[in-house]
């Protein structure tokens, strides 16, 4: 850490901070500048230390230096993580496509659609059984019934099931049916849930919170990794900004940034990331060009009658074209699909 | 709802949408404009309806008209809600002050501080026993031990205990010790938790998510209200924006807006809302001037050695001055303190 | 426009608003809903009308329906605009690459670099002679001398010169040397400048303001188009959000959105859009995959010693690789380069 | 500055950066940490230096330490600046009220309103003659005719005239009629304009850009101060965020922050800052409680028929009540009005 003292900090204040730093197990090194003094605190920073030093007398600000995450960092683990769940493999040369409806509506719906998606090249099937809904009056999902429908679709197609789990106490039940446990954007900092998913040992798809920084995102992954579960996928799904022509802003620079800082594979969700089905195909191609390892997409036979998220859902026909287009882009960036 | 058709929408598309609207139980009324056609959908909108219509062929956009929340709305309940928990009363003429440390550190700390805060005029004692922390390596709170320390402080002072609950399964335990269950910003859309707090019947202090809109905030309150628990306080604690001189941006216009749209009392947290102890007193006064019903503040005997949030924590001496200053502002806006 | 009346609006208020709407030359159509009344205002909306109606007694809100821009709209002009300036052609099948240093530093620098860029496939040369700088103490550009250096580089290479103009009174001078007048993000709503560029008749590259919505961006273009200058390129260069791992957030969904709503070509600036040279190649490929018509990139022989923007500037060697990689992506999306 | 090297930076890279720092006239001090090396660069940082060092080989990031502004800083000038223009005085004990219509519409309108505002206690009259409008099709102001109307209103009332200037070439004309030159939010980084206003010697009211950081805001003021014009008022008028229930988000923490960092007086604009006339009174009181030196407010006899900004404009009757309410708050924070 670097503790920047105010320009009028007294020698006593500088001395006090140095001793405070030493009491934290770090070694203080005072640097007298022409304008102000800074104290370098050498040693292993732990989270919250910078924050703890800031209220000190005479302190202007404290600058942390080390990244706060460890297990998620590419400095600690150089080889890239490949997450595998049945036929779904995320993080290798081949780009994976996870597709399906926002909500599981009926067994017939999900099985028919799963067959279609499988035929078109998807390896993962998404579908919500537990639905986090902004309003208590919206459809909340078929819950365990929905999970059973997904399991049936898997039995019919072999697609890996990716579905959301919303509460720690549901983890065992969802883990029984699903191949990948999805943690939604609203729950990215639901730490009990992260730990429960970590403990389950199941592959996890962690969605970025809509206002999470990269440090917060990687620290959320750290909660899962820290429980001994190495199979974490990081999913960019759009952030909240002032833009109003899309439902969220989908910042694809996340992809090369995460690819540099972390060994974990990166998934992109252009459906939630735009909220507009018309923008999904272009953003799907762009995500692959930027280096994504997988896409997760909302597909429904009849988006107009989908029980949720219709406005951002594409039809199987659009998905077919998107697969063809994405495959060409994947090859152009030395990937396969 | 108003369904705006594209300027080149065909009569068949307009007809199709009209029938779709009718199938939802609403009455469509087609208005042919000089430039484009819009269809007014008359009747009770339910959440998700606008979204469901948007992917329709020929549809440009769908504009919802009704507010999506009901029980939180001042249209439904005209008299203002006053939440009472022991001596703490929020929503009446008197402005309530809830103060205390970020984390409960020891029984001695919390009891000593509680006495001091009580003497200075606080009626609520805040303090974290379960701490949601960005990093898994940060102090996570003393959990049940911390709750017991809070209960001791209450026994000594009579202050109402306001403390965070982080998971649905902890609600019974926290409710046993606390007078008010706080739902943190990161959990504003943890729906299982909202429902569990609703079911507990305990007064709830609901913090706004750091990227939540007013509709989302009020719908989160609706989850609690909908379980038959009317005692909800809405707490503005700052939002995430591009500003970097404060930890969050504290938007006080929330206060008069919520006071108009809802009957629920409004609490403001200038500690988290700024992240800088030096800015807290000014924002405390401003919040009261803008119409807040209560403040919640982080106070610690020695912020420099607080185990968390030191940079935004004020000392009892600053709190004393702040109380005096806020009291004068309260009187100037026809409130008491 | 749709005027939504409050649920307790009186018949007199509804009647008053109807007459107000009629006085604006629109035809009011009152729709009585189960919960509240809305008034559809039929006819040509002009900008500001919705705003003017909002303070009316009994009005809940006013929803505009028509897009506020006209000449920039793809509804008015169906064929896509191709902007041509010497060998630079933006908007056709071939994707154009505009490259060069942030600031023109010396004749030698710019001529040497221009030759190199030309050889690598660029068709436009960017370089700042007038530099808008956040601090008055930063280098402000070589001004007219810089323009002359750019002209020399053009004479040597045939590359089209793209350079920023910062004030209306400089337009004639910059137009004398440049092939394309760039309007910077900070000046996107400098209306005098927009009009002066419009009057010049020169092709314009209009950068999106860092907090501009799509409506505001297209209306800024409208200021230029409205002066009879049809040669406008829309340049996405990143927006300001809470993200702190990049200098700006580069939202590529802008590309398909603008391609749908407007006939104007879209340029993307991954250098400013990320602020990090390491992220530029991935975002360049992504922009092309998403449908951009051109890229504008900061390239410098020695970014470490560039007088400005070094952190986001790539070397010619990186540019060479980027060209090869982008060409492959361009072909994969049926474009050429 | 602190140059943080990557954990795998080589001795040669560290040595290279040290020499680079020395070549900039700073003194490098290398600190070898347990995890990575940092180099403190001691001496006078100039803007852009940190940026220039960032692309260096082996560099992780560069942390600037010194504030980039000088003349605006309270470190350089300890006594607070009081800006005076006729009877308008901003920065002293007395809080100033600047009020008037968005646009000057007619001589009769502005004179009548000015008399009313004067009688109610305003000391400044605002009113737009040159209007920056998002759309080229909106009313652009009466220009010089409008300035003359303002001068007439001043002759009648003695109120100081505060009006916007939009282009450097208009400064002499506007300065002839106005007492205070307003620089609008969209022009906060129109550097030619800032310099022209600086050169005019007239008091300036500088509005914060809607996505400007505090550093950028103070550096914009620095452009004016640097031309020898010390009479600058800083005006907070709201920032662009994801919030959609207000037109902008008005962050009042700006006030105590600027009061600490700068000696310049702070003005708040609750009209633009909320965009909703119903929220203006509460935010006016809050701004005063937070320490604002003046308010600038949109007032119109008949907001429903105002040619611009009606939705955020209050009537004289509301202004009268607001004055009474604000006066009480001012006294409660040891100010006068």
- Could you give the CA distance from residue A196 to residue A167 in angstroms, rounded to a whole number? 9
pLDDT of residue B103: 93
Tokens read off for A202: 């199941």
Whether residue B255 and residue D287 make contact (CB cut-off 8 A), yes or no, is no
Whether residue D51 and residue C311 make contact (CB cut-off 8 A), yes or no, is yes
pLDDT at B135 over 90: no
Smallest Cα–Cα separation from D64: which of C177, B5, C203, A2?
A2
Tokens read off for D241: 């965020």
- Could you give the CA distance from residue C198 to residue C229 in angstroms, rounded to a whole number? 5
pLDDT at B246 over 70: yes
Between D46 and A266, the higher pLDDT residue: A266
Count the Cβ atoms, other than its own, within 10 Å of residue D239.
27
Residue ranges in chain D modelled with pLDDT below 70: 47-48
What is the interface size between A and D, counted as CB pairs within 8 Å? Answer: 58
B7-51 per-position pLDDT tens digit = 889 999 999 999 999 988 888 989 887 778 889 888 877 766 777
pLDDT of residue A47: 67
Q: Is the dihedral of CA B81, B82, B86, B88 positive or negative?
A: positive
A278-326 per-position pLDDT tens digit = 999 999 999 999 999 999 999 999 888 887 878 899 999 999 999 999 9
The angle subtended at Cα B103 by Cα B102 and Cα B109, nearest 5°, is 105
Whether residue B306 and residue A52 make contact (CB cut-off 8 A), yes or no, is yes
Which residue matches tokens 């902890």?
A: B170
Which residues fall within 8 angstroms of residue C274, CB to CB, at 6 or more apart?
A: A253, C238, C246, C247, C248, C250, C280, C283, C312
Which residues fall within 8 angstroms of residue C302, CB to CB, at 6 or more apart?
A: C315
Whether residue D250 and residue B249 make contact (CB cut-off 8 A), yes or no, is no
Which residues fall within 8 angstroms of residue C225, CB to CB, at 6 or more apart?
A: C71, C72, C198, C232
Query: Is A63 at the interface with chain C, CB within 8 A?
Result: no
* Chains near D (3 or more Cβ pairs under 8 Å): A, B, C
The mean pLDDT of chain B is 94
Tokens read off for B283: 């924002």
Indicate yes or no: pTM above 0.90: yes
Contact D146, D129 (CB under 8 A): yes
Smallest Cα–Cα separation from B280: which of B93, B99, B90, B96?
B99
Contact D45, D65 (CB under 8 A): yes
Instruction: Domains for chain D: give ranges and CATH numbers.
Output: 2-63 (3.30.70.1140), 83-332 (3.20.20.70)
- Could you give the CA distance from residue D330 to residue B285 in angstroms, rounded to a whole number? 11
Query: Is D63 at the interface with chain B, CB within 8 A?
Result: no
pLDDT of residue A36: 82
Which residues from chain C sit within 8 angstroms of residue A333, using beta carbons? 285, 325, 328-329
- Could you give the CA distance from residue B203 to residue B3 in angstroms, rounded to a whole number? 40
Query: Is A93 at the interface with chain D, CB within 8 A?
Result: no
- Phi, psi (degrees; rounded to nearest 5) at A103: -115, 145
Whether residue B251 and residue D243 make contact (CB cut-off 8 A), yes or no, is yes
pLDDT of residue C137: 84
- Could you give the CA distance from residue C236 to residue C250 in angstroms, rounded to a whole number? 8
Q: Give how far D248 is from chain C: nearest CA, Å.
A: 12
Whether residue D55 and residue C132 make contact (CB cut-off 8 A), yes or no, is no
pLDDT of residue C139: 84
Tokens read off for A73: 């960092």
The kind and range of the H/E element at B3 are strand B2-5
pLDDT at A9 over 70: yes
Q: Which DSSP string corresponds to A91-140?
A: SSSBPEEEEE-SB---HHHHHHHHHHHHHHT--EEE-BSS---SSTTS--
Q: Which DSSP string corresponds to B70-113?
A: STTBTTT--SPP-EEETTEEESSSBPEEEEE-SB---HHHHHHH
- Could you give the CA distance from residue B267 to residue B205 in angstroms, rounded to a whole number? 8
Smallest Cα–Cα separation from B243: which of D238, D165, D211, A31?
D211
Contact B168, B193 (CB under 8 A): yes
Torsion of CA D307, D309, D311, D316, to 10 degrees: -80
SS3 category, A33: coil
pLDDT in tens, chain C (337 residues): 888 888 889 999 999 999 999 988 888 989 887 778 889 888 877 766 777 788 788 888 888 777 888 999 998 899 999 999 999 999 999 999 999 999 999 999 999 999 999 999 999 999 999 988 888 888 889 999 999 999 999 999 999 999 999 999 999 999 999 999 999 999 999 999 999 999 999 999 999 999 999 999 999 999 999 999 999 999 999 999 999 999 999 999 999 999 999 999 999 999 999 999 999 999 999 999 999 999 999 999 988 888 887 889 999 999 999 999 999 999 999 999 9
Q: What does the pLDDT average to over A178-188?
A: 97
Smallest Cα–Cα separation from B164: which of B102, B216, B245?
B102
SS (H, E, C) chain C: CEEEECCCCCHHHHHHHHHHHHHCCCEEEEEECCCCEEEEEECCCCCCHHHHHCCCCCEEEEECCCCCCCCCECCCCCCCCCEEECCEEECCCECEEEEECCECCCHHHHHHHHHHHHHHCCCEEECECCCCCCCCCCCCCCCHHHHHHHHHHHHHHCCEEEEECCCHHHHHHHHHHCCEEEECHHHCCCHHHHHHHHHHCCCEEEECCCCCCHHHHHHHHHHHHCCCCCCEEEEECCECCCCCCCCCECECCHHHHHHHHECCCEEECHHHHHCCHHHHHHHHHHHHHHCCCEEEEEECCCHHHCCCCHHHCECHHHHHHHHHHHHHHHHHCCCEC
The kind and range of the H/E element at A206 are strand A204-207
Using a 10 angstrom Cβ sphere, with 0-12 exposed, 13-18 middle and 19 or more buried, the burial of residue D302 is exposed
Q: Which DSSP string corresponds to D88-123?
A: EEESSSBPEEEEE-SB---HHHHHHHHHHHHHHT--
Of the partner residues B34, B36, B43, the one whose CB lies closest to the CB of residue C34: B43
Angle between helices A191-200 and A214-225 (to 10 degrees): 40
Which residues from chain D sit within 8 angstroms of residue C216, using beta carbons? 134
Among B23, B46, B48, the residue to mutate for chain A (most A Cβ within 10 A): B48
Smallest Cα–Cα separation from C244: which of B238, B243, A72?
B243
Q: Are strands C294-298 and B160-164 parallel, antiparallel or unpaired?
A: unpaired
Contact A22, A14 (CB under 8 A): no
Whether residue C253 and residue A251 make contact (CB cut-off 8 A), yes or no, is no
Contact C266, C293 (CB under 8 A): yes
Query: Is B25 at the interface with chain C, CB within 8 A?
Result: no
- Could you give the CA distance from residue C280 to residue C248 in angstroms, rounded to a whole number? 12
Q: Give how far C235 is from chain D: nearest CA, Å.
A: 18
Q: Which 8-state DSSP code applies to residue A6?
A: P
Smallest Cα–Cα separation from C187: which of C177, C199, C197?
C197
- First-to-final CA distance of chain C: 44
Q: What does the pLDDT average to over B259-268?
A: 97
pLDDT of residue B75: 85
Among C72, C289, C325, C327, the residue to mutate for chain A (most A Cβ within 10 A): C289
B285-337 per-position pLDDT tens digit = 999 999 999 999 999 998 888 888 788 999 999 999 999 999 999 999 999 99
Whether residue B133 and residue A47 make contact (CB cut-off 8 A), yes or no, is yes
Q: What is the ipTM of this complex?
A: 0.94
Q: Give how far A127 is from chain D: nearest CA, Å.
A: 29
**Helix residue ranges, H only, chain D:** 11-23, 49-53, 107-120, 144-157, 171-177, 191-200, 214-225, 254-261, 270-274, 280-289, 316-332
- Could you give the CA distance from residue B282 to residue B284 in angstroms, rounded to a whole number? 5
* Chains near B (3 or more Cβ pairs under 8 Å): A, C, D
Q: Which residue of B has its CA nearest to C4?
A: B65
Q: Are strands D266-268 and D232-236 parallel, antiparallel or unpaired?
A: parallel
Tokens read off for C290: 């998403």
Which residues from chain D sit within 8 angstroms of residue A244, using beta carbons? 244
Which residues from chain C sit within 8 angstroms of residue B35, using beta carbons? 44, 66
pLDDT at A55 over 80: no
Q: Give how far B66 is from chain C: nearest CA, Å.
A: 8
Whether residue B44 and residue C34 make contact (CB cut-off 8 A), yes or no, is yes
B76-98 per-position pLDDT tens digit = 899 999 999 999 999 999 999 99
Q: Which residue of A has its CA nearest to B242?
A: A241
Contact D308, D138 (CB under 8 A): yes
Smallest Cα–Cα separation from D267: which of D124, D133, D128?
D124
> Taking phi first (over 0 means left), then psi (-120 to 50 degrees means alpha), and beta for anything else, what does residue B195 get?
alpha
Share of chain B above pLDDT 90, in %: 76
Please, which residues bridge with residue C4 across strands? C38, C61
Contact A242, A222 (CB under 8 A): no
Whether residue B56 and residue A304 make contact (CB cut-off 8 A), yes or no, is yes
Tokens read off for D192: 């030619």
Which residues from chain D sit within 8 angstroms of residue A242, using beta carbons? 240-242
pLDDT of residue A303: 87
Whether residue A239 and residue C244 make contact (CB cut-off 8 A), yes or no, is no
Which residue matches tokens 């045939």?
A: C158
SS3 category, B61: strand
């Amino acid at each position: 850490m670097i503790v920047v003292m105010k320009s009028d900090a007294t020698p006593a204040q500088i001395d006090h901070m140095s001793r405070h730093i030493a009491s934290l197990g770090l070694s203080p090194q005072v640097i007298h500048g022409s304008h102000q003094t800074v104290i370098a605190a050498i040693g292993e920073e732990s989270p919250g230390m910078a924050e703890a030093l800031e209220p000190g007398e005479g302190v202007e600000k404290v600058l942390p230096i080390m990244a706060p995450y460890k297990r998620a960092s590419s400095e600690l683990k150089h080889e890239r993580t490949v997450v595998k769940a049945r036929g779904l493999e995320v993080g290798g040369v081949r780009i994976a496509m996870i597709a399906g409806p926002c909500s599981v509506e009926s067994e017939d719906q999900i099985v028919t659609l799963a067959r279609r998606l499988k035929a078109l090249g998807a390896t993962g099937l998404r579908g919500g059984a537990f639905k986090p809904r902004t309003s208590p009056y919206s459809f909340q999902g078929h819950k365990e019934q929905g999970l059973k429908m997904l399991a049936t679709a898997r039995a019919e197609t072999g697609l890996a099931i990716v579905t959301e789990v919303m509460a720690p106490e549901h983890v065992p039940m969802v883990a029984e049916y699903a191949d990948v446990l999805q943690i939604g954007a609203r729950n990215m900092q639901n730490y009990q849930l992260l730990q429960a998913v970590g403990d389950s040992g199941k592959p996890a798809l962690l969605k970025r919170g809509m206002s999470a920084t990269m440090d917060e995102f990687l620290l959320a992954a750290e909660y899962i990794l820290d429980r001994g579960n190495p199979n974490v996928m990081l999913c960019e799904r759009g952030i909240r900004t002032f833009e109003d022509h899309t439902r969220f802003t989908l910042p694809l620079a996340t992809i090369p940034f995460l690819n540099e800082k972390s060994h974990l594979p990166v998934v992109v969700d252009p459906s939630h990331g735009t909220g507009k089905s018309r923008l999904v195909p272009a953003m799907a191609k762009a995500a692959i060009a930027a280096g994504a390892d997988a896409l997760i997409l909302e597909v429904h036979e009849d988006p107009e009658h989908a029980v949720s998220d219709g406005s951002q859902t594409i039809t199987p026909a659009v998905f077919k074209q998107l697969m063809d287009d994405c495959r060409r882009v994947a090859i152009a960036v030395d990937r396969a699909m």
